[in-house]
Amino acid sequence: MRIIAVVAVLFLALCAPALADVRIQNVFINAKGGQTVEYNVRVTLTSVNGQQGPVGIQLFVRGSDSESWRPLGTMAPIGKVPAGWKVSRDLFVPWATADPVMKLGRFEIKAVATGPGGANVSTVQPYP
C-alpha cells in the first residue's frame, strides 16, 4: 500500500507540473479572401515560471456543440517557453483543404497544448 502511495506521489510530482506553467493565452482566427477563404489560426502560449520540454499543439474543429471534434491540424512543437515569454504558432488552412464546416463560415476551433508526460491544457474559440 505504501509503495502505491509513493509511486502515485512521484507520478504527480513529475507529470503534473509538465504544463502547470503554460497557458493558452488566446486563439486568433483570421479569414482572407472572397469566395474561397483562407483561414489563419494563431495559438499563443505564455508561461509564468518557464516550461522546459517540448509542447505540442493540436487543433480540432466542429460546427456546433452537438457535433464531435474533428482533427484540423498539428502545429510545430515548441521546445521550451521561457518565463514571462509568449510563443505563437500559426496554421494556415487553404480553402481546398478546409473542413466542410469551415466553408459554412460558422464553427469552433479547439486548441490542445500537450507537454511532457501527456499533461494538457485546452481552450475553445468560436468563429466568427
Which position has the higher pLDDT, 24 or 18? 24
**H helix runs in 1-128, sequence order:** 2-15
Q: What is the pLDDT of residue 37?
A: 87
Radius of gyration of the chain (CA): 17
Please give the tally of structural domains in the chain. Answer: 1
Which position has the higher pLDDT, 110 or 81? 110
Q: pLDDT tens digits, residue range 43-61? A: 999 887 787 778 999 999 9
Residue 65 grid cell:
456543440
Q: Is residue 56 left, alpha or beta, with left meaning phi > 0 and alpha meaning psi from -120 to 50? A: beta
Give all strands of the β-sheet with 86-93 in edge-to-edge order: 22-32, 38-47, 86-93
* pLDDT, mean of residues 75-86: 88
Residue 121 sits in which domain range? 2-127
Residue whose entry in the numeric block shows the C-alpha cell 483561414: 39
How many percent of the chain have pLDDT more than 90? 56
Q: What is the pLDDT of residue 16?
A: 43
Nearest to 23 by CA among 61, 51, 42: 51
Assign residue 35 the CATH number of its domain: 2.60.40.10
Q: Cα–Cα distance between 108 and 111 in angstroms, integer?
A: 10
Q: What is the pLDDT of residue 73?
A: 96
